[in-house]
Structure 1
Amino acid sequence: MPMLTVKTLAKLAALLALLATPALAEQITDAAGRTVDIDMPAKRVLVGEARQVSVISALAGKHAFDTIVGWRDDLMTKDLDTYRNYLEVFPQIADLPRFGYVGNGTFSVEAAIALKPDVMTLNLESQKAAEESGLEEKLAAVGAKLVYIDFRVDPDANMENSISVLGKLFGNEKTADELIAYRRQQLARVADVLAAHPGMREPKVYIERAPGIVGDEVCCQTFGPVNFGKMIALGGGHNIGSDFFDKFSGELNAEQLIVSNPDIVVVTGANWSRQSDVNKFVSIGPGADLDAARAQLQALMERRPFNALPAVKAGKAHAIWHQFYGTPYDFVAVQQFAKWFHPDLFADLDPEDTFRELHDTFLPVPYKTGYFVSLTTESN
């Protein structure tokens, strides 16, 4: 065995010292405005809303589930088609531990802690429930950090930062920056055209939030000026709900809807078959049967007061994938709204191509059509 020189021993000692040095924590600001120190990238992540995987997978690609040790059960119940699309590529998710919702008390802190996470991501709307349950303190007691993400409550303020935070947690800040830039570029394809036509009339649009999930549903749940309400505005329409609500959503009186007389009606839909007790929703999403979805939309439009609306009688009713409201892929919805609201101006814009390009560029799952449907085939 050759003798180690003093110089070699010194180099070896320096290397061992370097390896023994703990990683320096990086400080991030989450969607709740909290500063959190976390060793980046995270090694064991609890995903507090499984639908966040649509962003995580864009950032981590085929390694999306390498560091996820558990996730909420909402992807299966809220968006079954997307779950199945991911299951084809990542069969291991069938065995990934699932947990309930912090917001309704079905989340078990003890079960989460047993997974030994170093980070848990949680949607911003769950903050109050998390604080009341002492979730942050209980996680901190075992060395885990809580990080709030938001693509839904206040996207204008939190969308890009939430992408950046997830990029750091999953070790790909460069892709996060690219995704942010891509979203800006795609939104500009609509904004630039609308800016060139400042005097153009904005059609009045009523959007109904997730109709047909439960029985005896009272009309009419809609959105205020944020989220889908903002997407309608970005697409060149006037959101009727914004005239009555200054918050995320609200319930519009049926008589008021008739008086408002929208030019266009939109409903949101997804595959809620594991959640619904009546299955009267419009089932759209990746790989959806659009003929069946059109029939479901037709059935919803036969309810009162929709069957009395001139817009519906003229066939100006559409359905759009509900999950655009909780992802940074809102630009696809904005482009589709622009096509529906101003078909002549946006004749050359193809939201399907945009969403397909997003999948080809960023996502590890294949693109499948099925995210939009109209009452008449001519409107698709």
Structure 2
Amino acid sequence: MRKHLVFLFAALLLVGSLTACGNTHKQNDSANQSDTQTNTTQTATSQAKSLTIKDDTDRDVTVSLPITKMVPLDTSPFMVLSAFGKLDTIVGNHQSTQGNPLYEQLNGLPIVATYSAVNYEMLAQLQPQLVISSVRSHGVVKDQENLSGFDIEDVKLDLRNPDRMKHDITLMGQLFSCEEKAKQINAFYDKWQKFINDREKNLTDNQRVKVFLEYHAGRYKTGAPKSSFYSQVALAGGINVAKDLTAGETPEVNAEWVAKMNPDIIIREATGMGYTAPNADKAQTIYDEVVGREGLKMTKAVQNKNVHLVSVDIYSRPGYIVGVCYMAKWFYPDLFKDFNPDEVLKEYCKLFYPGKELKGVWTYDK
């Protein structure tokens, strides 16, 4: 029995060139990047600047610059702000980042959001200039009236979806005057995606593996097209067996359906892994539950021991490209025999968490 787990302690990463962003907003920098639409205006009397952006719900939002007080209502913006060196602009914390050593400077800040609720009374007390909320199930501001009376702007981003990631990183770079850091992050995505595409360019559809992805919400919950869990499999070169599902973005299938699809590989996105995991115990428990399901035992994936776990932080977060690289290696080991995705993980941690040591459990299989 073999075990593959990335469990790295005390590999101190150099800060390199990733220092905090400057405070000067570059009005013309990246003005033409993809489909990000922005407009800057400057008030002559006070020299105060404002930036008008179009968020991921197609709303025009005007934000006063510089941003010195803000609150992320979902976890992904914390990762980007860490890369930008802008954690000091955060005045309210998320329950999931409280006590996390990656964000230790935020310890003691009031908890404003959990995965299921937003404390609007606390937001009113803190009076941030803006919140960055989500367009999906976590950190969603459904009623703008909850914020409008407090002069708090709401920017809705989809920082869980690879299809929107570069656009939203660019937009955050403009909001926080960190256009160069945003370019570095997007170049990181592009570099490794191109590497994968070049290696796989001669694969025919018949040679591509069929993959079932189960995301962290539970048994047989998968990602259909347009969800934030779908495209990672395709980016890694696989065929997502959920490609024809139309019952919502995150349908729940069953063992019979998966057995009928008979995937070559099963990917389980999992919480309880990543930087803060002290060991692989939880990952092993999840893995054993998946491969032990009666309805899956005869699938090619289980029979051939091609079941793999990957942390949510490198699958459906700004670190998604790391998970894509691991999957490419699992999907086509012969094409990637000289490639070690652990190196991409190190690069990711250096880019997003400069100065932090790399540790934790990020993937798992047997």
* TM bucket normalised to smaller: 0.7 to 0.9
Q: What SS is found at the alignment partner of 1:289?
A: coil
Once the 2 structures are TM-superposed, how far is the Cα of residue 264 of structure 1 from its aligned partner? 1.1
Once the 2 structures are TM-superposed, how far is the Cα of residue 199 of structure 1 from its aligned partner? 5.8
Q: What SS is found at the alignment partner of 2:154?
A: strand
Match of 1:84 in 2: 100
Match for residue 136 of structure 2 among 125, 141, 157: 125
Match for residue 294 of structure 1 among 284, 287, 295: 284
Once the 2 structures are TM-superposed, how far is the Cα of residue 35 of structure 1 from its aligned partner? 1.6
2: CA distance between counterparts of 1:366 and 1:75? 17
State the Cα RMSD in Å: 2.6
2: CA distance between counterparts of 1:262 and 1:291? 26
Structure 1 residues 251-266: aligned runs within 5 Å: 251-266=252-267
1: CA distance between counterparts of 2:278 and 2:240? 27
Question: Aligned in 2, Cα 1:120/1:351: closer, same or farther, shift over 3 Å?
Answer: same
2: CA distance between counterparts of 1:110 and 1:304? 48
2: CA distance between counterparts of 1:127 and 1:260? 30
Match for residue 80 of structure 2 among 55, 71, 74: 55
Deviations 1:337-367 (A, max 9, x none): 1100100001122221012012224423332
By relative contact order (CA 8 Å, sep 6+), the higher-ranking structure is 2
2: CA distance between counterparts of 1:28 and 1:371? 35
Match of 1:24 in 2: 49
Gaps of 5+ in 1: 1-17, 77-82, 213-218, 272-282, 376-380
Structure 1 residues 6-25: aligned runs within 5 Å: 21-25=46-50
Whether 1:341 aligns to 2:331 is yes
Once the 2 structures are TM-superposed, how far is the Cα of residue 159 of structure 1 from its aligned partner? 1.6
Once the 2 structures are TM-superposed, how far is the Cα of residue 163 of structure 1 from its aligned partner? 0.9
Once the 2 structures are TM-superposed, how far is the Cα of residue 285 of structure 1 from its aligned partner? 4.5
Tell me, yes or no, if the aligned pair for 1:31 and 1:161 is still in contact at 8 Å: no
Tell me, yes or no, if the aligned pair for 1:27 and 1:38 is still in contact at 8 Å: yes
Question: Aligned in 2, Cα 1:126/1:21: closer, same or farther, shift over 3 Å?
Answer: farther
Once the 2 structures are TM-superposed, how far is the Cα of residue 291 of structure 1 from its aligned partner? 6.2
Tell me, yes or no, if the aligned pair for 2:129 and 2:151 is still in contact at 8 Å: yes
2: CA distance between counterparts of 1:164 and 1:252? 36
Match for residue 69 of structure 2 among 38, 44, 53: 44
Whether 1:141 aligns to 2:132 is no
Match for residue 332 of structure 1 among 319, 322, 338: 322
2: CA distance between counterparts of 1:194 and 1:96? 46
Match for residue 366 of structure 1 among 357, 360, 366: 357
Once the 2 structures are TM-superposed, how far is the Cα of residue 326 of structure 1 from its aligned partner? 3.5
Once the 2 structures are TM-superposed, how far is the Cα of residue 42 of structure 1 from its aligned partner? 0.7
Deviations 1:109-157 (A, max 9, x none): 22111001111110112699634x3xx34433332211111123x542x
Using structure 1 for the length normalisation, give the TM-score. 0.77
Once the 2 structures are TM-superposed, how far is the Cα of residue 186 of structure 1 from its aligned partner? 1.4
Structure with higher Rg: it is: 1
Question: Aligned in 2, Cα 1:285/1:242: closer, same or farther, shift over 3 Å?
Answer: farther
Once the 2 structures are TM-superposed, how far is the Cα of residue 20 of structure 1 from its aligned partner? 6.2
Match of 1:111 in 2: 122
Q: What SS is found at the alignment partner of 2:358?
A: coil
Match of 1:250 in 2: 251
Match of 1:176 in 2: 182
Gaps of 5+ in 2: 1-42
Deviations 1:53-104 (A, max 9, x none): 11110112xxx3211000332345xxxxxx53315xx2x4220111235x85
Once the 2 structures are TM-superposed, how far is the Cα of residue 211 of structure 1 from its aligned partner? 6.2
Tell me, yes or no, if the aligned pair for 2:311 and 2:362 is still in contact at 8 Å: yes
Count of aligned pairs: 322
Match of 2:240 in 1: 239
Deviations 1:210-256 (A, max 9, x none): 266xxxxxx41111134332111111111112232474321112211
Match of 1:354 in 2: 344
Question: Aligned in 2, Cα 1:259/1:333: closer, same or farther, shift over 3 Å?
Answer: same
Structure 1 residues 263-342: aligned runs within 5 Å: 263-271=264-272, 283-290=273-280, 293-294=283-284, 296-342=286-332
Match of 2:171 in 1: 165
Question: Aligned in 2, Cα 1:233/1:369: closer, same or farther, shift over 3 Å?
Answer: same
Once the 2 structures are TM-superposed, how far is the Cα of residue 331 of structure 1 from its aligned partner? 1.1
Once the 2 structures are TM-superposed, how far is the Cα of residue 323 of structure 1 from its aligned partner? 2.9
Q: What SS is found at the alignment partner of 1:58?
A: helix
Whether 1:203 aligns to 2:237 is no
Question: Aligned in 2, Cα 1:40/1:350: closer, same or farther, shift over 3 Å?
Answer: farther
Match of 2:223 in 1: 223
Tell me, yes or no, if the aligned pair for 1:352 and 1:369 is still in contact at 8 Å: no
